[in-house]
Amino acid sequence: MTSLQTVAWGARVALGLLLCIPAPTRTQEADGTIPCVDGMAGGHACDRVDLLGRMSREELGAVDTVKLNDVWGWRDPRDGREYALVGRMDGVAFVEVTDPRDPGYLGSLAATAGSRMTIWRDIKVFRDHAFVVAGGTEGHGMQVFDLTRLRDVTQPRDFAPSAVYTGVESAINVAINEETGFAYLTGSTGEEPCGGGLHMVDVQNPVDPVFVGCFAHPNTGRRGTGTSHDTQCVIYHGPDEDYAGREICVSANETAVSVADVTDKDNPLAVADAAYPATAYAHQGWLTEDHRHFYMGDELDEVLGLVDGQRTLVWDVTDLDEPILVAEYTAPNDDPEHNLYVRGDLLYLATKRSGLRVLDIGDRLRPVEAGYFDAAPASDAPPDDAASTVAGASRFNGAWSVYPFLESGNVLVSTRSEGLFVVRPHARR
């Protein structure tokens, strides 16, 4: 605590004595924020990340053994209110986080009737609609939900989808290019599985999705059919003039990084694929805002003992025809990473049993840790042996995903068992 903070603290205590108001403790600010002090915030190990609020798994409507997975966010353009969309094994929970210190559960969207409960659910937002897919099941399709229906909800309720796209049975992930209005479903099953690659859907009219084509990168994925675990698709504005203004998807294809030009949905083109050392499972990644670098995680390299610590791969994609692995960041832990996102010069990474890690990537090739928050201390028990960890649910313990794009600068973190956390890193864009 600085000298100015000490003076301010003393003034607050003195005012509290004068007005008979209980003084705030040093572990909680007057507005309810629990600051990271001496490496702890509300019972969670931390460094330069404050705890604003949280909701338990049960408060999010998860009963019995139902656990959580993905998280995404939505800002209502009408009034600026902020919401968290939290995936459960059996559906999606809606939470208002405008006041993160007092989050409010608004209800849930159940999984499509007839589909079975699954650990994989993914959510994205476009034009005030949520798009929800589930992996490892049948009959789920892609749910579409009009988020404006959350306005003025005063009591938690069960919601029905606004539409269901049935062009797939299931999908592991969905990505949406908000500049073009196309959704890209990965790892899908159904009538047109696209080899597990990109199942492309026009969602410009959100409640009337239309299938427009497939792309599967040859000779990638564990089966060699082009399976993508996750992707990011953008209108390219990076330094490679050959692709200026083209719609480009950069994907984690289990065994390699894939770059594709999907501008023409009838004739998408494979641009490049790139392998890397100690490959276990190319899981997910995100481009920097200038489209010069792609940061990616391999979910299983740590679990299988292929690397010495938690590894984040840094790709130079200034020449899209030849992605180059230019750096590897190794964190001071060996927990498997999951989802990561880039905002400005900060990278936000959900790392299972080590929770949220924030990296300063101002120097693209030399990331520096700028903070962390262990959202899942109950998951810190030593992992099982590699074989059982890969096969069993224990590898999914801890933090699943992070959403750092709220206009407020607050960050959402979802965990499998502990619930939803709203945190505020000291280093923010």
pLDDT in tens, the chain (429 residues): 444 344 344 444 344 444 344 444 446 676 789 999 999 999 999 999 999 999 999 999 999 999 999 999 999 999 999 999 999 999 999 999 999 999 999 999 999 999 999 999 999 999 999 999 999 999 999 999 999 999 999 999 999 999 999 999 999 999 999 999 999 999 999 999 999 999 999 999 999 999 999 999 999 999 999 999 999 999 999 999 999 999 999 999 999 999 999 999 999 999 999 999 999 999 999 999 999 999 999 999 998 999 999 999 999 999 999 999 999 999 988 888 999 999 999 999 999 888 999 999 999 999 999 999 999 886 655 544 443 444 344 556 899 999 999 999 999 999 999 999 999 999 765
> Residues for the chain: how many in total?
429
> Chain centroid to CA 145: how far?
19
DSSP state letter for 196: G
DSSP state letter for 378: G
Q: Any residues with CB less than 8 A from the CB of 148 and at least 6 apart, and which?
A: 76, 78, 128
Q: Are 321 and 258 in contact (CB under 8 A)?
A: no
DSSP code per residue over 79-144:
T--EEEEEEETTEEEEEE-SSTTS-EEEEEEEPPTTPPP-SEEEEEEETTEEEEEEES-SS--EEE
Count: domains in the chain: 1
DSSP state letter for 145: E
Tell me if 136 is assigned to some domain.
yes
Tell me if 73 is assigned to some domain.
yes
Phi (first) and psi of residue 195, to 5 degrees: 65, 15
Tell me if 264 is assigned to some domain.
no
Predicted local distance difference test score (pLDDT) of residue 232:
98
The pair of three-digit structure tokens given for residue 315, joined into one six-digit string = 């790709």
Q: Are 253 and 215 in contact (CB under 8 A)?
A: no
Tell me if 152 is assigned to some domain.
yes
Tell me if 385 is assigned to some domain.
no
Tell me if 415 is assigned to some domain.
no
Q: Are 186 and 254 in contact (CB under 8 A)?
A: no
Tell me if 161 is assigned to some domain.
yes
By residue range, what is the domain housing residue 122? Answer: 61-167
For residue 117, list its beta bridge partners: none
The pair of three-digit structure tokens given for residue 185, joined into one six-digit string = 């479903």
Q: Of 84, 95, 100, nearest to 32 (Cα)?
A: 100
Q: Of 121, 112, 127, nearest to 85 (Cα)?
A: 121
Phi (first) and psi of residue 351, to 5 degrees: -125, 50
Tell me if 393 is assigned to some domain.
no
For 377: left if phi > 0, alpha if psi spans -120 to 50, otherwise beta; the answer is alpha
Continuous segment of H or E residues that includes residue 258:
strand 257-261
